[in-house]
Structure 1
Amino acid sequence: MKPIVRKILALVVVVAVGAVAGPWVYINLVKDEAPEALTLEPATTTIAPESTTTIAVESTTTTAPVSTIDGDWKVVAESIVGYRVKETIVGQKTEGVGRTSEITGSLTIVGEQVTAAEFTVDMTTLVSDSTRRDRQVNTRILDTVNFPTSTFVLKKPIALTPEALAGSDFTVETTGTLTLRGVTKDIDLTLKARLVEDVIEVNGSIEIVFTDWSIPDPSISGIIVVDRGLLEFLIRFAR
């Protein structure tokens, strides 16, 4: 074999190995792990110090008076909305996650019901760990120039149980209207919520099948994205 041929073959092998090893090194050794899914903050429990004196106390459940939670609650800065998609980069599986806290909205409680709730997200402010991904999201994928916001509106009232009023985690199946990339649809979803002192936390996720929302295939050369993702949210409301 001529020296020039050997050099060409060696170069081809190096390029081939680099094409496979490069993404593996990036994903497994360089890239940070994707953030965990958004959930309600762990509940805190206060443990009383031990005492040698035993006192019999009647067990009671403290329920927030309805009058104290009636009214309008506003979205606060600690809220988060984002997306999560599964990606394959040259055979290496990973997740793409982008998030923002640029959210506005409100929630209204009357009696023992949530009578209205809505939030709007500034989609132009979504940020992930990849500027390349962010450019694709803002332009081709979500087209935030023409569709800069996304909105969710609750469709029907939610009854609050005594447990929910007492501060326990509360799970409910409900329906709402979501507007995303200029498409508006009614959706079913599961919400988890908790009333903690003067803050109401609401957590959930919505599966987004891209073709249902006029979202083009996010895949590009070398990166394959599955045909759906999650819209995740953890919204905090306060007075």
Structure 2
Amino acid sequence: MAGSIRRHWKRWLIAGVATVAVLCTAGPYIYINYVQDKPPAALSLDDPPGSNSSGSSSGSGEQAGEDVEGAWRVGSGSQAGYRVDEVLFGQNVTAVGRTEKVTGELEIEGNRAVNGSFTVDLASVKSDSDQRDGQFRGRVMNTERYPEATFELTEPVDFGSAPAVGEQVSAKASGELTVHGETNSVSFELDAQRTADGFRVNGSILVTFADYGVDAPNFGGITVEDEGNIEFLLAFDRA
């Protein structure tokens, strides 16, 4: 009798362990692939413009395109944030966090942006996970001590020509990126689009976490890659 009970107990134990293993494997897969929303697409000039970047031009496209010299500031409709690849309980996912709390300015002479910078309020960045946001603001980025990320041009950006309304031009930007109290030189490609009453600029900056004194945020079954991207889509108004 005792031997029979022990055999049944072993079978139940093995079955229980197998069930837990299946749930641990299948649970995240089902959640990520069938329940969780897909991450938003990368920011791009294909996104609908904000209120300051829409409407019809009061002049010809050529005239509006030429009238770009002077001082500009980041306006409504701007966004910035991060995009990083994670492994969540063995499943590959992409984490995206964004904020509209972005400020900045730009000075244009001829077809070149000669001075410019923008600042992101990191404490307001949100993703689809409160747990991830808590880790981001606390242990990862320590936004209480380092509440902002900034980028400042160190070389003029030459767009070659002033685009007409709706047209896009591309250029390379170089500057200094400050995150988590550390500053590094960065270069990246960006796209600019003339709108009826301003223009928009879109780009992505590759960031290696260790270069900014940030440990790759690994916690609670989540493993994060050693690098990610800072994405931005900036809408500019006349200053």
TM-score (ref. length: structure 2): 0.86
Residue in 2 that maps onto 1:127: 126
1:1-239 matches, within 5 Å, as 2-41=7-46, 62-64=62-64, 66=66, 68-162=67-161, 164=163, 167-239=166-238
Structure 1 residue 118: Cα displacement: 0.9
* Aligned-partner residue type, residue 218 of structure 1: P
**Residues 25 and 230 (structure 1), Cα distance of their counterparts in 2 relative to 1, 3 Å cut:** same
Structure 1 residue 63: Cα displacement: 4.5
Q: Summarize deviations over 1:173-200 as a string: whole Å, max 9, x none.
A: 1211111111011111111111112121
Equivalent pair of 1:106/1:118 in contact (CA under 8 Å)? yes
Q: Distance in 2 between matches of 1:159 and 1:207?
A: 21
- Partner SS for 2:62: coil
* Aligned-partner residue type, residue 201 of structure 1: R
Deviating runs (4+, > 3 A) in structure 1? Answer: 63-66
Equivalent pair of 1:63/1:162 in contact (CA under 8 Å)? no
Q: Distance in 1 between matches of 2:227 and 2:92?
A: 15
Unaligned runs of 5+ in 2: 1-5, 50-59
- Partner SS for 1:231: strand
Residue in 2 that maps onto 1:54: none
Equivalent pair of 2:45/2:202 in contact (CA under 8 Å)? yes
Q: Distance in 2 between matches of 1:113 and 1:217?
A: 37
Equivalent pair of 1:87/1:224 in contact (CA under 8 Å)? yes
Q: Distance in 1 between matches of 2:164 and 2:177?
A: 27
Q: Distance in 2 between matches of 1:153 and 1:197?
A: 26
Equivalent pair of 1:63/1:166 in contact (CA under 8 Å)? no
* Aligned-partner residue type, residue 64 of structure 2: A
Structure 1 residue 71: Cα displacement: 2.0
Number of residue pairs matched? 223
**Residues 14 and 229 (structure 1), Cα distance of their counterparts in 2 relative to 1, 3 Å cut:** same
Equivalent pair of 2:69/2:109 in contact (CA under 8 Å)? yes
Using the aligned pairs only, state the percent identity. 37
Unaligned runs of 5+ in 1: 45-59
